[in-house]
Amino acid sequence: MKNFKFILPAMVFVMAIGMSFASISIKDDTLQTEYIQLTGECRNITAGCDSSSSQDPLCEVQSTVTENTAFVFQIQDSETVCSQPFRMTTSTPIPIDEDF
């Protein structure tokens, strides 16, 4: 019984450390979401912006349907407001097949 009181908490501690290494990484690209700010709407899109240095130009997309352009944001604060713009290494708008 004396060994049981020591071994059980020690094994729980070792298992907790092992589980911390088994968790998934938060920096998964599939979790990255992109939004564009429209009049009265923050719309989810897929553009492929990369979040680079803060000195890089803002990521911009251009609709191949209407030729309109919009900046891409990382966070949807509400249904109508987007925040934290993405940055890109190039200033050329990314063409996407969406109407906005």
**pTM of the complete model:** 0.59
In sequence order, what E strands does 22-77 have?
34-38, 41-45, 60-63, 69-76
Domain ranges (residues) in the chain: 29-96
Residue range 30-78, pLDDT digits in tens: 556 888 888 888 988 888 887 667 778 888 899 888 888 898 888 888 8
Q: Cβ atoms within 10 A of the Cβ of 64, count?
A: 11
Q: H or E segment at 83? A: strand 82-85
